[in-house]
Chains A and B, each alone.
Chain A
Amino acid sequence: MNKQTDIAIIGIGITKFGELFHQSYDDLVHDAALQAVADAKISLDDIGAAWLSTAFPEIGVFKGRSGMDLSEPLSLYNIPVTRVSNFCASGADAIRNAVNALRAGECDVAMALGVEKLRDRQPQDSIVKMMVEYGHPFLQKGFTAAGTFAVYANRMMKEYGVTREDISNISVKNHLHGSLNEKAFYRKPCSLDEVMKSQMVADPLTVLDSCPTTDGAACVIMVRAEDVDKNKHNPIFIKGIGLSVSTGWDLPFFDSNHDFLSFESTRTAAKMAYKQAGITKPIDELDLIEVHDCFSIVELLTYEDLGLCKQGEAKDLIRGKETQLGGKIPVNVSGGLLSCGHPVGATGIRMVVEVSNHLRGNAGARQVKKARRGLTHNIGGPGAIASVIILEN
């Protein structure tokens, strides 16, 4: 591949994440987009093309089925707008598509906006309903999202001596971080005992090991690096972007090659992104990471998949508090999905906004000191799709 044009993020916007009963899907789009436009110091009409990420219109408010659901709330018409859907990696994929369009010269200013409105329904009416009532009538029937990751936890415990405490300590750490994030849904720290004794969802994962599905939106505006106006912008550069579909919806659970100890998709996406960014020793070369902690076990397992440690050693990073704010490589200083909640289409972009804030030195109480380079990671479906983005200031 030829040397790729660097892409710069010049505008970021994010709504509060949580139960936003007072805001509609359109309100969320409007809120995040206008923050990003203001931050980029441009006008809405400067945007040449946009990508809208909403993963689950049918369990939300039936909005986000096409690009028009970005255009309408912004009255932004007569440009190309594409809806992106790639499960929990949808937001990151919207950014990837915008990056590629900028590189291809389709437009000069691109917007990627992720939004999900899930709390206009009862919690059990959204993701659980989807797993119960939709999909193949037999294959995987009986799983909720938690269960599809809990099997990894049981296998990790068997193979690598990971304990329930190790898994739940991820949640303790992220809830502590979340208490420092004014945009997070849960802002209360919790103890190990509270996590382990909360309602069991799918053994060994409890409610506090699981992220809540929430409402929220996040937006980034990007240009080619050469178009950055140094007097106007505070740019963050996208140095690497990888996305990999490495298995299918059903295949992981019906494939005897699969060991339930690792996500091939994360490894592949990380390899792509590291190569583009020239990273060889991630734990030394990265300053902070936002990992897709939809369930606490996923963060633990991802330490290994991102190459922060050897296979089987993730537990040592959490035991040594290396991934806590102030540790060697802080992970999920935003509070992660566990604290922020998971408006599925918005999460990947929320992470990019979070890392950008740190790289700009604007992250307030949870600022990672001297942050120069950060990574965001999403995993979608049953670990089938992963994205890794590397950002630098």
Chain B
Amino acid sequence: MSIIKSYGIALPHFRVEDSTLHPKGKKGVMKAVCFSDEDIITLAFQAASDIPKNNIDGVFFASSSPVFHNRYHASYLADLLNLPQGILALDFTNSARSGTDALLLANDLIDSGKYKNILVVASDVSFPEIGKELTAPFGHAACVILLSNEKGSAEILLAKSFSSSMAEEFSYKLNNIQYDPRYSRDAGFKNNLIESIKNIVSKPQSIDAVILNSLYSRMAGGIFAKAGFEEKQFAKDSLNLKIGNTGAVHALLLLINELENGRKNILLADYTNGTNIFEIKSTAAFINKHLQEQLNNYDLVKTYQDYLQLRKTGNFNSLKYETKEMFSSEMMQEREKETLLYLKGLKCAECGTIYYLKAARCKKCKCDKFYTVQLKDTGTVYAFTSEHYFPSSFPPITMAVIDLDGGGRMTIQQTDTMYPEKNKIEIESKIKLVLRKMIENDAKPNYFWKAIAL
């Protein structure tokens, strides 16, 4: 069986309260929402950024809100992460269950012995129709789990999938369809869940957290009771109130949440048009609290107007200037990706000056010999300004000249600046680089580094 070797979480910095979304919404109930330059790719990249990248031989990308069609998110992300070309890279899209679909298949492939380390990525960013924010579940997040045949902190004891022909809410040719909930619940969900939990290998008493990720989770108590579980074993979905329902990411987040909370034996059932069922045994203490940290670190979107501005990610206009298109070039991005994306700098062999951009000769000492060095993604602001006329969903854009820790200088935009008075940077502020959409409304992928205040 495979092992959870490492994991990463990315929650956007902003939350919107239900009371902001609708007069009938509750205060304190929140959805995680992307800033205008984030999407499933940037969240996935952020979640994967601290995971050890050596010996990864597969990447699975799961999302119910894909941005590409006829292009694999998994191979795109693998390239952003500088993983080797040609590794197994598959997409699992189209369903809120696709996160655990990916986990299941990754587990089976590692079991087969053909693969050693598979990165399971789930990322979802979607907004409901305007006015339906309280009724349609949403929330933005990404979760990355590195499954491995090596050592790790949790082991997957069981991974099985039970398909069902019964669906509840789905779309047909972009038409949204919802069957009578009693039909889909009783004929679909209940029967499917009963069948799936027959396969549990552990004794019910030995499980200390039962996670059920389903629209019908409140109705499942009887089924689990019949199978020998008690109510206290149920792990309530506390994330739903803090970040919303994060779609394909949600089941994985619930699992990580219980592992971070110190649960040892976990049963995870993820139901959407069929059940994926897992038993996970935590073999070592989870010392990282990536999820808990990010759950507690956010800013609230203040008004519905701000929320509308935020989700107008196709709008890249300021009051002063409108633009339709900017120059971009896939060839240029590919050619320059060692520098642009992977932050490979040059170090002068003579005087040691480190350059972010390629140079024929050192500006300082004219030496023409350089070594390639890996630049760091943290730094200090050397100079800055706020640009009030550059188009942006949230002007002004702050431009920061940054001295990277360990050498090299970059000048980039600050991001997450929905409220410029917050996260204000000045000379000597500490910052971190994050990958974001450079051009919010561009019709092509355009990911580059921006700075967030630490």
Q: Could you list which residues of chain A lie within 8 angstroms of chain B, going by C-beta atoms?
A: 124, 128-129, 131-144, 146-147, 150-155, 158, 199-203, 205, 247, 250-251, 253-258, 260
Q: Which of A133, A153, A251, A257 meets B323, CB within 8 Å?
A: A133
CB contact under 8 A between A255 and B363, given known A129-B323, A133-B326, A141-B413: yes
Residues of A within 8 A of B329 (CB): 137
Q: Are A199 and B382 interface neighbours, CB within 8 A?
A: no
Cβ distance A182 to chain B, nearest Cβ, rounded Å: 30
Q: Are B388 and A200 interface neighbours, CB within 8 A?
A: yes
Task: List 14 additional contacts besides A144-B389, A155-B427; criterion CB under 8 Å.
Answer: A131-B390, A132-B326, A137-B439, A141-B439, A141-B448, A142-B387, A146-B389, A151-B399, A154-B384, A158-B427, A202-B388, A254-B356, A254-B409, A255-B409
- Looking at chain A's contact residues, is the secondary structure mostly helix, strand, loop, or mixed? mixed
Q: Are A254 and B327 interface neighbours, CB within 8 A?
A: no
Q: Are A138 and B448 interface neighbours, CB within 8 A?
A: yes
Let me know if B40 is at the binding interface, CB within 8 A.
Answer: no
Cβ distance B363 to chain A, nearest Cβ, rounded Å: 6
Residues of A within 8 A of B384 (CB): 151, 154
Q: In the complex, what residue of chain B is closest to A253 when comparing beta carbons?
A: B411
Let me know if B407 is at the binding interface, CB within 8 A.
Answer: yes
| Assembled-state Cα–Cα distance A158/B382 (Å) | 10
Residues of B within 8 A of A203 (CB): 385-386, 396
Q: Are B385 and A137 interface neighbours, CB within 8 A?
A: no
| Assembled-state Cα–Cα distance A253/B382 (Å) | 10
Q: Are B391 and A132 interface neighbours, CB within 8 A?
A: yes
Residues of B within 8 A of A247 (CB): 363
CB contact under 8 A between A254 and B321, given known A143-B390, A202-B388, A247-B363: no
Residues of A within 8 A of B388 (CB): 199-202
Cβ distance B390 to chain A, nearest Cβ, rounded Å: 5
| Assembled-state Cα–Cα distance A318/B268 (Å) | 72
| Assembled-state Cα–Cα distance A151/B384 (Å) | 5
Of the candidates A154, A201, A256, the one having the most CB atoms from chain B within 10 angstroms of its own CB is A256
Let me know if B355 is at the binding interface, CB within 8 A.
Answer: yes
Q: Are A147 and B390 interface neighbours, CB within 8 A?
A: yes
Residues of A within 8 A of B363 (CB): 247, 251, 255, 257
> What are 10 inter-chain pairs, A to B, with CB distance below 8 A?
A128-B321, A137-B326, A142-B397, A143-B399, A151-B385, A151-B399, A200-B388, A254-B410, A258-B409, A260-B383
Q: In the complex, what residue of chain B is closest to A155 when comparing beta carbons?
A: B383
Q: Which of B391, B396, B397, B446 meets A137, CB within 8 Å?
A: B446
| Assembled-state Cα–Cα distance A139/B358 (Å) | 13
Residues of A within 8 A of B403 (CB): 256
Q: Are A133 and B409 interface neighbours, CB within 8 A?
A: no
Q: Which of A150, A201, A250 meets B357, CB within 8 Å?
A: A250
CB contact under 8 A between A138 and B340, given known A147-B385, A151-B385, A255-B409: yes
Chain B: how many interface residues by the 8 Å CB criterion?
A: 46
Q: Are B364 and A133 interface neighbours, CB within 8 A?
A: no
Q: In the complex, what residue of chain A is closest to B397 when comparing beta carbons?
A: A142
Q: Are A260 and B446 interface neighbours, CB within 8 A?
A: no
| Assembled-state Cα–Cα distance A22/B409 (Å) | 47
Q: Nearest 3 A-B pairs (CB), nearest first?
A: A253-B411, A150-B385, A138-B448
| Assembled-state Cα–Cα distance A155/B359 (Å) | 25
Number of CB contacts from chain A to chain B under 8 A:
128
Q: Could you list which residues of chain B lie within 8 angstroms of chain A, going by C-beta atoms?
A: 320-321, 323, 325-329, 332-333, 340, 353-357, 359, 363-364, 382-391, 396-397, 399, 401, 403, 407-413, 427, 438-439, 446, 448
Residues of A within 8 A of B412 (CB): 142
Residues of B within 8 A of A200 (CB): 386, 388, 396
Residues of B within 8 A of A142 (CB): 387, 390, 397, 399, 412-413
Q: In the complex, what residue of chain B is closest to A127 when comparing beta carbons?
A: B389
Residues of A within 8 A of B407 (CB): 256
| Assembled-state Cα–Cα distance A7/B323 (Å) | 47
Q: Are A137 and B327 interface neighbours, CB within 8 A?
A: yes
| Assembled-state Cα–Cα distance A131/B320 (Å) | 14
| Assembled-state Cα–Cα distance A203/B427 (Å) | 13
CB contact under 8 A between A144 and B390, given known A254-B411, A256-B354: yes
CB contact under 8 A between A143 and B387, given known A151-B401, A254-B410: yes
Q: Which of B327, B385, B389, B399 meets A133, CB within 8 Å?
A: B327
Cβ distance B391 to chain A, nearest Cβ, rounded Å: 6
| Assembled-state Cα–Cα distance A361/B384 (Å) | 44
| Assembled-state Cα–Cα distance A139/B396 (Å) | 18
Q: Which of A144, A199, A256 meets B408, CB within 8 Å?
A: A256
Q: Which of B353, B385, B390 meets A256, CB within 8 Å?
A: B353
Residues of A within 8 A of B413 (CB): 141-142
CB contact under 8 A between A147 and B387, given known A133-B327, A137-B327, A137-B439: yes
Cβ distance A253 to chain B, nearest Cβ, rounded Å: 4
Cβ distance A238 to chain B, nearest Cβ, rounded Å: 31
Q: Are A147 and B382 interface neighbours, CB within 8 A?
A: no
Q: In the complex, what residue of chain A is closest to B364 when comparing beta carbons?
A: A257
Q: Are B353 and A202 interface neighbours, CB within 8 A?
A: no
CB contact under 8 A between A132 and B323, given known A150-B385, A253-B411, A254-B357: yes
Residues of B within 8 A of A254 (CB): 355-357, 409-411
Residues of A within 8 A of B439 (CB): 137, 141
| Assembled-state Cα–Cα distance A254/B325 (Å) | 26
| Assembled-state Cα–Cα distance A139/B412 (Å) | 8
Residues of A within 8 A of B385 (CB): 147, 150-151, 153-154, 202-203, 205
Q: In the complex, what residue of chain B is closest to A124 when comparing beta carbons?
A: B321
Q: Which of B328, B355, B391 meets A255, CB within 8 Å?
A: B355
| Assembled-state Cα–Cα distance A143/B355 (Å) | 21
| Assembled-state Cα–Cα distance A150/B398 (Å) | 11
Cβ distance B370 to chain A, nearest Cβ, rounded Å: 14
Residues of B within 8 A of A253 (CB): 401, 409-411
Q: Are B327 and A140 interface neighbours, CB within 8 A?
A: no
Q: In the complex, what residue of chain B is closest to A152 when comparing beta carbons?
A: B383
Cβ distance B38 to chain A, nearest Cβ, rounded Å: 17
| Assembled-state Cα–Cα distance A199/B320 (Å) | 12
| Assembled-state Cα–Cα distance A132/B413 (Å) | 13
Residues of A within 8 A of B353 (CB): 256-257
Cβ distance B362 to chain A, nearest Cβ, rounded Å: 9
Residues of B within 8 A of A150 (CB): 385
Of the candidates A124, A128, A147, the one having the most CB atoms from chain B within 10 angstroms of its own CB is A147
Q: In the complex, what residue of chain B is closest to A264 when comparing beta carbons?
A: B363
Residues of A within 8 A of B386 (CB): 200, 202-203
| Assembled-state Cα–Cα distance A308/B407 (Å) | 34
Residues of A within 8 A of B320 (CB): 124, 128
CB contact under 8 A between A132 and B383, given known A137-B326, A141-B438, A247-B363: no
| Assembled-state Cα–Cα distance A253/B400 (Å) | 9
Q: Are A140 and B411 interface neighbours, CB within 8 A?
A: yes
Residues of A within 8 A of B332 (CB): 136-137
Cβ distance B420 to chain A, nearest Cβ, rounded Å: 10
Residues of B within 8 A of A147 (CB): 385, 387, 390, 399
| Assembled-state Cα–Cα distance A256/B389 (Å) | 27
Residues of B within 8 A of A152 (CB): 383
Residues of A within 8 A of B325 (CB): 133
Of the candidates B323, B385, B391, B446, the one having the most CB atoms from chain A within 10 angstroms of its own CB is B385
Cβ distance B381 to chain A, nearest Cβ, rounded Å: 10
| Assembled-state Cα–Cα distance A215/B328 (Å) | 30
Cβ distance A385 to chain B, nearest Cβ, rounded Å: 16
Q: In the complex, what residue of chain B is closest to A210 when comparing beta carbons?
A: B389
Q: In the complex, what residue of chain A is closest to B329 when comparing beta carbons?
A: A137
